[in-house]
Structure 1
Amino acid sequence: MNITGASSSLYNEDLAPAKVRNWGAFSIFNVWTSDVHSLWGYYLAASLFLFCGGFVNFLIAIGIGSLIIFALMNLIGNAGVKTGVPFPVLARASFGIWGANIPALVRAIVACFWYGAQTAAASGAIVALLIRSDLFANFHQNVHFLGHSGLEVICFLVVWALQLLIIQHGMETVRRFQDWAGPAVWVMMLLLAIYLCWKAGGLAFSSDIPMEVLLEKTNDAGVPGVPGSVASLAAVAAIWVTYFSALYLNFCDFSRYAPDKAAVRKGNLWGLPVNLILFSLVAGVTTIAAYDVYGEVLLHPDQISAKFDSFFLAALAAITFAVATLGINVVANFVSPAFDFSNVFPRQIDFKKGGYIAALIALVLYPFAPWEGSAASFVGVIGATMGPIFGVMMVDYYLIRKGEIHVEDLYRENGEFRFQSGWHVPAFIAAGIGALFSSILPNLTNWLPEWWGVYGWFFGVGIAGAIYYVLRAAKVGVNRPVARA
């Protein structure tokens, strides 16, 4: 689509509607294999397994959560296919042409946190492999700076730098990388599970992990109920849904390159409920087998591979998981801030520069390591910040505009989406109140029940979406008709 009358403050080639649409169902499927098949994805799935207290409970909770994820991704994915625009541009329809910079920056900052978390996980797999050598083990134990061992810092910097090479040639390079990186880790996951089951003497779907061990491993996550209870299973499904909260916002960054909605639905079907459930099944089997073999709960796959007798298998596992984690970082935590930062300063920042800014911020965060601790807690706190934005955008697109947006006006300073001097006040009122109940009160006060934070993303979506709909129905902030150029 050629945009007539586009403002240079709102437009560049990276933000323009997609012209080449060659991301078929397989590429969409591999967005999810790259996103899920990482050290953090495994760590979260294995952690959630402990809350379920049994294999059947785990599959029920994960299955329900995966179906919800599938439905939500189709909502934002279809918007990307129809408009062809990335997330920060789509946000202009609900937040205003200048106001959209706020949700774009929120998404970008969240991506920077996740970028650091995934890079640290990938470098941790390499560290676990290297310390099998006495030379590296001594260096790891005796040299420390920036709050980490010298070996951890070096590995982090190496992995951090390698990711920058992937995006040198833009989104097509991203597509090619994730088309093979995601499936590769599936092979390694199966080898890991088969090896442990062989060591354990067979495949087991029932867990022998004692309740006292489950309670010890889960007592700091803020999840209500004891492992296996209905409250705990509901929390598992909610946390699983929240884990994908960042991509609910910017999945249109990828779906806009798809030829049609059918390709997105097919890719989502195989990549989400089918792939998620199978991946979680393997994570559960591996967790049980690892406990049977080593007598301890091992939630990180690099912890498991570090115990392998075979250096070859340990090296293969470490490298595969590290590469897969690079895949998710490129897909989920590089592409989005690249577009988001570019949206704020389109004349000065293109796709590559935006990604470099995100990588630099993640590097600055590394000494503080805010991602260390409970996986469930980190996912909940980070995810809850984006619920209100998603609620406003989906209500605006589907309930207010009925899926119809004048795309050219998204790039015009005086078009339909100028609202109040470029800001849409009702959207910020709704998102602000939603954020109060999704993030601020549950994390900074003790005014709400302890379990509230687990469902923070859902409260953010529901409260912000409902308030926005009421304000729009009352015609608050509605423009007078604008003449089309």
Structure 2
Amino acid sequence: MTIQGASPALYNEDLAPAKVRNWGPFSIFNVWTSDVHSLWGYYLAASLFLFCGSLVNFLLAIGIGSLIIYFLMSMVGVAGVRTGVPFPVLARASFGIWGANFPAIVRAIVACFWYGAQTAAASGAIVALLIRNESMLAFHQSSHVLSHSTLEVICYVVIWALQLLIIQRGMETVRKFQDWAGPAVWVMMLILAIYLVIKAGGISLYGDIPMDVLLEKTKDAGVPGVPGSVEALMAVAAIWVTYFAALYLNFCDFSRYSPDERSLRIGNIWGLPVNLILFSLVAGITTMAAFQVYGEVLLHPDQISAKFDSWFLALLAALTFAVATLGINVVANFVSPAFDFANVFPRHISFKRGGYIAALIALVLYPFAPWEGGAAHFVNMVGATMGPIFGVMMVDYYMIRKGWLNVEDLYRETGEYRFQGGWHVNALIASGIGIVFSSILPNFTNWLPSWWGVYGWFFGVAIGGGIYYVLRRAALGAGATAARA
């Protein structure tokens, strides 16, 4: 689509509606294999398994969560197909042409955190492999810099740099990379699970990890209820949904390249409920089998591979998990801030430059490692900030605009999305109040119940979206009254 009268402050070729739409069902499917099949994805799934107490409970909780994820991703994905625009441009419809920079920057900051967390996980897999060598182990234990071992720093920087090579040629390179990286991880995950199940002599559907061990491992996670209880299963489903909070906002960065809604739907069905449930099943089986074989709870796959007798198998596992993590970083944490930062200064920041900025911020964050700690707490704290933004955008697109936007006006300074000087005050108020209740109060005060943070993202969506709907309908009603007068 050619935009007549587009403002240079709102438009560049990277932000323009997609012209080439060749992301069929397989490419959409592999967005999800790349996003889920990572060390952090496995770590979270294995951690959540402990709250369920058995494989049957785990599949029930994850299954419910995965269906919710499919529904939410389809909502934002359809908007991407219909408009062809990336997330920060879509946000202009609800936040205003300049106000959209607020959700874009929030999403970019979250991506930088995740970029660092995933890079650290990938480099950790390489470190676990290298310290099998005695001289490397000695170096790892004796030399430190930036509050990390020197070996960890070196591996982090190497993995960090490799990711930059993937996006040198733009989104088409991203598509080609994810189309083989995602399936490769599935092969390695199955090898890991089968290897451990054979060594364990089988597994039980109703739990092989004793309750006292589960209680010890989950006592400080902030999840209500004991493992296997209804409260715990509800929390697992909620945390699983929250894990994808960032991509609820910017999945349209990918779906915009899909040729039609049918291709999107097929790719999402196989990539989300089917793929998520199977991946979680493998993670749960591997966790149980590893406990039977090694007598301890191992939540990180690199911890498991480090115990392999075969050096070759350990090497294969480390490389595969590293590649998988590169895949999710490129898909979830490089593409989004690349568009988000470009949206702020389209004249000066291209897709590549925006991605480089995100990578640089992740590098600066590494000495502080804000992602270290419990997986469930980190996911809830980071994800909850984006719930109100999602609520505002989806209420605006589906309930206010009935699934239709004037795409050309998204790039014009004097169009219908100018609102109050380019800022939509109602959207900013609604999302701001939502963030207070979804993230700030539950994480930095004791004013709310302890379980509130587990469902912070959901509260954010409901509060932000609800307030926006009321304010928007009131504004539209006042406008209609004034027009009649």
Give yes or no for TM over 0.5: yes
| Equivalence for 1:347 | 347
| Equivalence for 2:270 | 270
Q: CA deviation at 1:126?
A: 0.2
| Equivalence for 1:393 | 393
| Equivalence for 1:483 | none
The C-alpha deviation readout for 1:33-52, integer Å capped at 9, x for no partner, is 00000000000000000000
Distance 1:478 1:294 in 2: 68
Distance 1:201 1:444 in 2: 46
| Equivalence for 2:131 | 131
Q: Is the 1:97–1:413 contact (alpha carbons within 8 Å) kept by the matching residues of 2?
A: yes
The C-alpha deviation readout for 1:224-253, integer Å capped at 9, x for no partner, is 011111000000000000000000000000
Give the residue type in structure 2 aligned to 1:137.
L
Q: CA deviation at 1:202?
A: 2.3
Change (3 A) 1:479 1:181: farther
Q: CA deviation at 1:206?
A: 3.3
| Equivalence for 2:34 | 34
| Equivalence for 1:201 | 201
Q: Is the 1:127–1:152 contact (alpha carbons within 8 Å) kept by the matching residues of 2?
A: yes
The C-alpha deviation readout for 1:230-281, integer Å capped at 9, x for no partner, is 0000000000000000000000000000000011110000000000000000
* 202-211 or 216-225: bigger deviation: 202-211
Q: CA deviation at 1:207?
A: 2.0
Q: Is the 2:85–2:256 contact (alpha carbons within 8 Å) kept by the matching residues of 1?
A: yes
| Equivalence for 1:165 | 165
| Equivalence for 1:147 | 147
Q: Is the 1:62–1:280 contact (alpha carbons within 8 Å) kept by the matching residues of 2?
A: yes
Partner of 1:450, secondary structure, is coil
| Equivalence for 2:85 | 85
Distance 1:150 1:362 in 2: 18
Partner of 1:439, secondary structure, is helix
Distance 2:182 2:169 in 1: 20
| Equivalence for 1:433 | 433
* 310-319 or 209-218: bigger deviation: 209-218
Q: CA deviation at 1:26?
A: 0.2
Q: Is the 2:203–2:288 contact (alpha carbons within 8 Å) kept by the matching residues of 1?
A: no
Q: CA deviation at 1:364?
A: 0.5
Give the residue type in structure 2 aligned to 1:411.
Y
Distance 1:129 1:296 in 2: 20
Distance 2:386 2:404 in 1: 24
The C-alpha deviation readout for 1:178-229, integer Å capped at 9, x for no partner, is 0000000000000000100111112443322121211111112110011111
Partner of 2:168, secondary structure, is helix
Distance 1:463 1:418 in 2: 24
Distance 1:318 1:411 in 2: 45
| Equivalence for 1:423 | 423
Q: Is the 1:420–1:477 contact (alpha carbons within 8 Å) kept by the matching residues of 2?
A: no
* 190-199 or 201-210: bigger deviation: 201-210
Q: Is the 1:388–1:465 contact (alpha carbons within 8 Å) kept by the matching residues of 2?
A: yes
Partner of 1:474, secondary structure, is helix
Matched, 1:44 2:83: no
Distance 1:404 1:35 in 2: 29
Q: CA deviation at 1:479?
A: 7.6
Q: CA deviation at 1:117?
A: 0.2
Partner of 1:371, secondary structure, is coil
Q: Is the 1:242–1:384 contact (alpha carbons within 8 Å) kept by the matching residues of 2?
A: yes
Matches within 5 A, 1:169-248: 169-248=169-248
| Equivalence for 1:18 | 18
Q: CA deviation at 1:477?
A: 10
Matched, 1:450 2:450: yes
| Equivalence for 2:403 | 403
Distance 1:476 1:362 in 2: 42
Give the residue type in structure 2 aligned to 1:326.
L
The C-alpha deviation readout for 1:380-413, integer Å capped at 9, x for no partner, is 0000000000000000000000011000000000
Give the residue type in structure 1 aligned to 2:317.
A
| Equivalence for 2:325 | 325
Runs of 5+ consecutive residues of structure 2 not aligned to the other structure? 481-485
Distance 1:137 1:27 in 2: 40
Partner of 1:399, secondary structure, is helix
Give the residue type in structure 2 aligned to 1:138.
A
* 12-21 or 195-204: bigger deviation: 195-204
Matched, 1:254 2:254: yes
TM-score relative to the length of structure 1: 0.98
| Equivalence for 1:96 | 96
Give the residue type in structure 1 aligned to 2:225.
G
Q: Is the 1:92–1:417 contact (alpha carbons within 8 Å) kept by the matching residues of 2?
A: yes
Identity of aligned residues (%): 81
TM-score relative to the length of structure 2: 0.98
Give the residue type in structure 2 aligned to 1:109.
I
Q: Is the 1:76–1:252 contact (alpha carbons within 8 Å) kept by the matching residues of 2?
A: yes
Change (3 A) 1:33 1:17: same
Partner of 2:347, secondary structure, is coil
Give the residue type in structure 1 aligned to 2:258.
A
Q: Is the 2:53–2:206 contact (alpha carbons within 8 Å) kept by the matching residues of 1?
A: no
Q: Is the 2:223–2:451 contact (alpha carbons within 8 Å) kept by the matching residues of 1?
A: yes
Distance 2:142 2:476 in 1: 63
Distance 2:331 2:352 in 1: 14
Give the residue type in structure 1 aligned to 2:381.
V
Distance 2:421 2:302 in 1: 52
Runs of 5+ consecutive residues of structure 1 not aligned to the other structure? 481-485
Q: CA deviation at 1:476?
A: 6.0
Matched, 1:2 2:2: yes
Q: Is the 1:419–1:477 contact (alpha carbons within 8 Å) kept by the matching residues of 2?
A: no
Give the residue type in structure 2 aligned to 1:471.
L
Matched, 1:463 2:473: no
The C-alpha deviation readout for 1:404-432, integer Å capped at 9, x for no partner, is 10000000000000000000000011111
Q: CA deviation at 1:478?
A: 8.2
| Equivalence for 1:115 | 115
| Equivalence for 2:483 | none
Distance 1:373 1:207 in 2: 26
Q: CA deviation at 1:471?
A: 0.7
Q: Is the 1:204–1:289 contact (alpha carbons within 8 Å) kept by the matching residues of 2?
A: no
Q: Is the 1:424–1:477 contact (alpha carbons within 8 Å) kept by the matching residues of 2?
A: no
Distance 2:476 2:458 in 1: 25
